Chains A and B, each alone.
Chain A
Amino acid sequence: MFSKISILTGYDKKGQAEAVEYLEINAGEIYSIVGFTGSGKTQLISDIEQMAQGDSVTGRRILIDGKAPEYTVRYNPESKLVAQLSQNMNFALEMPVRDFLIMHAESRGLEVSENLIEEIMKTANSLAGERIEDTDILTRLSGGQSRALMIADVAIISNSPIILVDEIENAGIDRRKAMDVLTRKGKIVLIVTHDPQLALIGSKRIVMSNGGIADIVALSDEEVIAERMINSITEMLFVAQNKIRSGQSIQLSELTFPEAL
């Protein structure tokens, strides 16, 4: 089986060599990808998804276990190493949820069963607000419902050793739970995010700037504590959000502040 990917970096938007020349990510590692809007975060994971070989705008080359991947690994969905949750908030294909899941499972070479479809629907519905039915038409799902279904689909059907996640936070779904569904032991997980809670899940952060990889920052000891604080603040916000969404009023006694504050 595969154990690492390497990124041989290319050029930023100004055509200058990227500050970080070479990057190696091992199976089991979680990295986050951070940077301002337009800094090239999506381009980086798209290079990884396409296993670019100097043929994208950045000139990056992606190696699997030190070698350029075979053509079939790059393109054939059955042998794809990468599952990607893209930034798209909506589906474009006009077809029922069920048909889509069946066709996608088949294209990934899975045995399609009633249990499989049920498992995906259950997972999607545990993340979404309003219930998704398997007879719903993809293009008519809301942004949050689409996102929830995409997450369940990536986690269960595109169950590949490399998982790429692009801005999961912007759809009003439970991010922590979504990350739990997506990340499994032994996988490489790359999370593009603006959300501090998600950014701190990674043991390292890839910092993007001007289209290039500008720096790699490791999670510090202090940040391990910061992460706990941020988690409990997020938890508190989540409680408040749910109260408001379900038409209730917030009681002060329900809001607990992290101890360190």
Chain B
Amino acid sequence: MNRPKVIVVAGPPACGKTSVMLHSIKSLQRLQKRVAVVKIDCLATEDDIRYRSVDVPVAVGLSEDICPDHYFVVNLEEMTNWAAAEKAEVLIIETAGLCHRCAPGVDKALAVCVIDCHSSIKIPEKIGPVLDTADIVIVTKGDSVSQAEREVFRSRVRSINSNAEIVEVNGLTGAGCEHLARLFSEKGDSADLVGARLRHPMPTAICSYCMGEMRVGTKYQQGAVYKMDFPEVLCSLK
């Protein structure tokens, strides 16, 4: 079976992932590429409806109780199998990106991070690993800030990821998406991801609460339990 080229798109909620991908998919289709999409979210999503509007097969995975990025890796092999069965050449996986500790980037897949320059100058640092491990960083919503702010934002991104291609895109009008689609077709290869490695380790989820514990208190906790350090008690409140 032919393997699709996998593009993993991550970024904070509402940063413009779907908007940008919709325009990019249209450009990819103009380049005669067959595209399939998987959307991974936590509880609910309507992104599948938006993706269907550009005539691509869409699958949705809802991670519910667990971190969407863990859920993503657990299902990655099956996602690529499904896309291959759909005869897709490019598989775009949009992840919810709620967890700032995780990064879904995988070797042999193109890692794309979307951030919105209208959010906060601290965002590039906060989302650390997703940005750090990306091959392409897409900066959206430049239309709502000044040129100077866009340039400052860009250099902040650059200081965290010195290698990535940084692309400014307007998710509303699609400006910049044609270039993005070209990068998508030029960079990376179709590959079997079985055996490919995560670019950044996922955090361990091995405490009692990962297993469904609901009660508060040390006596209910088993497994890897990490407790906070507190400053020395000085009774400083009068």
Binding site for B on A (CB under 8 A): 46, 49-50, 52, 54-57, 75, 77, 82-86, 88, 91-95, 100, 103-104, 106-108, 150, 153-154, 157-158
| Complex-state Cα separation, A89 to B146, whole angstroms | 9
| Complex-state Cα separation, A36 to B223, whole angstroms | 67
| Complex-state Cα separation, A50 to B147, whole angstroms | 10
**Among B120, B154, B175, contact of A94 (Cβ-Cβ < 8 Å):** B120
Query: Is A56's CB under 8 angstroms from B175's CB?
Result: yes
Q: Within B29-83, which residues are at the interface with A (CB < 8 Å)? A: none
Q: Which residue of B lies closest to A84 (CB)?
A: B147
Q: Which residue of B lies closest to A108 (CB)?
A: B151
Query: Is B152's CB under 8 angstroms from A52's CB?
Result: no
**CB proximity of B186 to chain A, nearest CB, Å:** 12
Segment at the interface with A among B8-16, B100-108, B176-184, B203-211 = B176-184
User: Given A77-B154, A107-B152, are A86 and B177 neighbors across the interface (CB < 8 Å)?
Assistant: no
Binding site for A on B (CB under 8 A): 117-118, 120-121, 143-149, 151-156, 166-168, 173-179
| Complex-state Cα separation, A107 to B166, whole angstroms | 14
Besides A82-B147, A84-B146, A86-B146, 16 other CB < 8 A contacts?
A49-B147, A55-B177, A57-B175, A77-B151, A77-B154, A84-B147, A88-B146, A93-B152, A94-B121, A100-B149, A106-B155, A107-B152, A107-B155, A150-B146, A158-B148, A158-B151
User: Given A84-B147, A92-B144, are A100 and B168 neighbors across the interface (CB < 8 Å)?
Assistant: no
| Complex-state Cα separation, A86 to B146, whole angstroms | 6
Q: Which residue of B lies closest to A106 (CB)?
A: B155
Q: Chain A contacts of B148 at CB under 8 A?
A: 100, 104, 150, 153-154, 157-158
| Complex-state Cα separation, A94 to B118, whole angstroms | 10
User: Given A52-B175, A88-B144, A95-B121, are A107 and B149 neighbors across the interface (CB < 8 Å)?
Assistant: no
Query: Is B173's CB under 8 angstroms from A56's CB?
Result: yes
Query: Is A91's CB under 8 angstroms from B168's CB?
Result: no
Q: Chain A contacts of B176 at CB under 8 A?
A: 50, 55
| Complex-state Cα separation, A88 to B149, whole angstroms | 11
Query: Is A75's CB under 8 angstroms from B166's CB?
Result: yes
Query: Is B153's CB under 8 angstroms from A93's CB?
Result: yes
Q: Chain B contacts of A77 at CB under 8 A?
A: 151, 154-155
| Complex-state Cα separation, A193 to B43, whole angstroms | 48
Q: Chain A contacts of B118 at CB under 8 A?
A: 92
Q: Chain B contacts of A75 at CB under 8 A?
A: 166-168
User: Given A55-B177, A56-B173, A75-B166, are A88 and B155 neighbors across the interface (CB < 8 Å)?
Assistant: no
**CB proximity of B16 to chain A, nearest CB, Å:** 15
Q: Chain B contacts of A86 at CB under 8 A?
A: 145-147
Query: Is A107's CB under 8 angstroms from B151's CB?
Result: yes
| Complex-state Cα separation, A46 to B147, whole angstroms | 10
Q: Chain A contacts of B121 at CB under 8 A?
A: 93-95
Q: Chain A contacts of B144 at CB under 8 A?
A: 88, 92
| Complex-state Cα separation, A75 to B168, whole angstroms | 8
| Complex-state Cα separation, A56 to B154, whole angstroms | 21
Q: Which residue of B lies closest to A157 (CB)?
A: B148
Q: Chain A contacts of B155 at CB under 8 A?
A: 77, 103, 106-107
| Complex-state Cα separation, A28 to B120, whole angstroms | 38
Q: Which residue of A lies closest to B145 (CB)?
A: A92
**CB proximity of B125 to chain A, nearest CB, Å:** 13
Q: Chain B contacts of A54 at CB under 8 A?
A: 178
Which A-B residue pairs are the 10 nearest by beta carbons? A107-B155, A55-B178, A84-B147, A77-B151, A56-B175, A103-B152, A107-B151, A92-B145, A93-B121, A57-B173
